[in-house]
Amino acid sequence: MKRKKTIIFGGILLIIAACAIGLFTQSPKWSQRSFEAVVKETVTQSNGEIRLIVERTTEIYGDPINSLGIGKDTKLLDSDGKSISTKDIPSGSSVKVTVEDAFNEEKPFYYPVVYEIRLIHSDK
């Protein structure tokens, strides 16, 4: 009976250790989602906030239109990985967008936290 309890206790410890290792080795990008899109327009709001209106070309959720807020932490990169500004992303450009993977009633997906916008192709 004592041996059986030891085996059960050891099994539980092994499961807890495996879960802990899984959490610590989890990629820091687990909360990120990427998609490709075409830039429709750049909008500067009255409060100075800059937003890119894009149409997704890869399916994530139902409505393909996203309004992407460009914050101070948003990385804007060209195809070579060099920093650019919103002026360097004209309408019709193809971009790869990396956003926070969140979709719930409080934070709908069409206003996601934008981590990175990378220019794929531009006609400019």
Q: Would you kindly state where each structural domain of the chain is located, as residue ranges?
A: 32-121
**Residues 38-55 pLDDT 10s:** 988 888 888 888 888 888
CATH dotted code for 32-121: 2.40.50.140
DSSP letter at 9?
A: H
**Residues 70-92 pLDDT 10s:** 888 889 998 888 999 888 888 88
Cα–Cα nearest to 33, from 98, 112, 120, 117: 98
Over residues 21-35, the mean pLDDT reads 68
Question: What are the φ/ψ torsions at residue 5 (nearest 5 degrees)?
Answer: -65, -40
Q: What is the pLDDT of residue 65?
A: 66
List CB contacts of 57: < 8 A, sequence separation 6 or more. 35, 36, 37, 38, 64, 94
